[in-house]
């Protein structure tokens, strides 16, 4: 599914990008793959939304995710673009920079989570070295994971493995009780049911 450039979707090579930038991207991808960037994935069908007003960092993360097998990823360079994009894109995971210019990141995370209901949405805060990864603004903690910028392959691979574990279906205690009841009733003779 293609998204308009106004929302930050990279639809291929930028014609205005210089040869040096393309070589840097290729070198970055090669380094990522050499460091084991293809291991540990949430699943190729997972939809990843990257929200960061730093275009270079956002595009690098998207390149790393695509290299790891996540073909369905989008980039939004502002909070309002992310809100508009999320309506149609319906992400499973949102990588959200904590230094957005147009809206507080916690407010954006809460708005995206509210719109995603009843679906489960995982958030990864993109944290610079200047910030505290345990940041708690107003008692709100909308982020399940934190990732230190600049992002390296080892940290991203570890995070993708954690996301995969979190996305695996788990039975609630109520579902487990029903399943146990079904198994038990199937084991009973017909006269006892």
Instruction: Report how far residue 8's alpha carbon sits from residue 60's, in angstroms, rounded to the nearest whole number.
Output: 13
Q: What is the CA radius of gyration of the chain?
A: 20
Residue 8 pLDDT greater than 70, yes or no: no
Predicted TM-score (pTM) of the model is 0.66
Right CATH number for 5-192 from 3.40.50.2300, 3.40.50.10240, 3.60.40.10, 3.30.365.10? Answer: 3.40.50.2300
Q: Summarize pLDDT for 12-37 with one digit per residue, the tens.
A: 333 344 556 555 555 555 554 554 44
Residue 165: CA atoms inside 13 Å, Cβ hemisphere, count?
A: 8
Bigger pLDDT: 132 vs 72: 72
Q: Summarize pLDDT for 138-159 with one digit per residue, the tens.
A: 445 678 899 999 999 999 999 9
Kindly report the length of the chain: 193
> What residue spans define the domains of the chain?
5-192
Residue 97 pLDDT greater than 80, yes or no: yes
In angstroms, the Cα distances linking 154 to 39, 125, 147 are 10, 17, 11
Instruction: Report how far residue 68's alpha carbon sits from residue 93's, in angstroms, rounded to the nearest whole number.
Output: 15
């Amino acid at each position: 599914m293609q998204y308009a450039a106004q929302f930050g979707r990279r639809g291929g090579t930028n014609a205005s990008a210089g040869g040096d930038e393309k070589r840097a991207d290729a070198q970055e991808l090669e380094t990522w793959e050499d460091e084991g960037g293809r291991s540990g994935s949430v699943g190729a069908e997972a939809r990843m939304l990257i929200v960061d007003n730093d275009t270079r960092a956002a595009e690098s993360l998207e390149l790393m995710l695509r290299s790891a097998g996540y073909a369905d990823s989008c980039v939004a360079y502002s909070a309002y673009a992310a809100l508009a994009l999320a309506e149609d894109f319906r992400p499973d995971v949102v990588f959200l920079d904590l230094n957005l210019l147009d809206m507080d990141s916690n407010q954006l995370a809460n708005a995206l989570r509210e719109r995603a209901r009843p679906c489960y949405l995982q958030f990864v805060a993109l944290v610079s070295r200047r910030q505290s990864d345990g940041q708690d603004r107003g008692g709100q903690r909308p982020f399940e994971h934190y990732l230190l910028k600049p992002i390296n392959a080892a940290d991203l691979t570890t995070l993708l493995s954690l996301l995969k574990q979190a996305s695996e279906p788990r039975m609630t205690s109520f579902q487990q009780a029903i399943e146990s009841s079904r198994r038990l009733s199937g084991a009973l003779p017909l006269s006892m049911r």
